[in-house]
Amino acid sequence: MFAAGGPASTGPGAVDCGYDGAVSRTPAGWDVDSPVQAEVFVVWLDGDQLQLTGPDGPQPWILQLGSVEHPVEVVDRIVRDVVGPPILVHSTSWRRDRDAVILSFVVVIDRELVGDMASLPIGRAELARSEATAAPRAIATGAVVEHGLRHLAWLAKDDPVVAAELPAGWQPILADYVPEPFRNLG
């Protein structure tokens, strides 16, 4: 996850190129590299508009998952520590990406927890459909979010716990999504 910038060009032999000395060269690269990773989409309801947010803004929030860790427990713990207590934590799909198995999670939070985290309205997107015996060739983030919300729409009708926990206003929004169960996206 981390990209090291290395020492600034202030030491012996450094060439003064007039740039900011704090960043001297191309990052070497450091990333979450566990064989199983979580990709968290933090969602909240703003009036009648679903918004995507997180500590990194609306981009997918990547978590490392250890071999003995339960993915749901990790997501719940990290979200609770960084953002606050989630309303719902649900794994909605999985796929192969980033040289790992990626478990996608939709996390529902109350709007009071959003604070100054950057948000982006969630638009509708086409799903990434599998072929008969093969995964989709490409999967956009929007397709993962779309499927996640369709899965949540399915849970809202099928799972009494989810139906009870979803705040007022969510049910009519999710009614516009075609319910889908958990599935492999690629």
Residues near another protein, by CB under 8 A: 1-8, 10-12, 21-23, 25-32, 38, 55-57, 59, 61-66, 69, 74, 78, 81-82
Instruction: Name, in order, each residue with C-beta under 8 angstroms of 28's C-beta and a sequence gap of 6 or more.
Output: 3, 4, 6
Helix (H) or strand (E) holding 96: strand 88-97
The residue among 19 and 181 lying less far from another protein, judged by its C-beta, is 19
Measured from the CB of residue 2, what is the shortest distance to another protein in angstroms? 5
Q: Tokens standing for 163? A: 């139906």
Measured from the CB of residue 15, what is the shortest distance to another protein in angstroms? 14
The residue among 84 and 181 lying less far from another protein, judged by its C-beta, is 84
Q: Tokens standing for 55? A: 């500590």
What type of residue is 115?
Answer: G
> How many Cβ atoms are within 10 Å of 85's Cβ, its own excluded?
10
The residue among 22 and 134 lying less far from another protein, judged by its C-beta, is 22
The residue among 10 and 171 lying less far from another protein, judged by its C-beta, is 10
Measured from the CB of residue 84, what is the shortest distance to another protein in angstroms? 14
What's the CA gap between 56 and 58, in Å, rounded?
Answer: 7
Measured from the CB of residue 97, what is the shortest distance to another protein in angstroms? 14
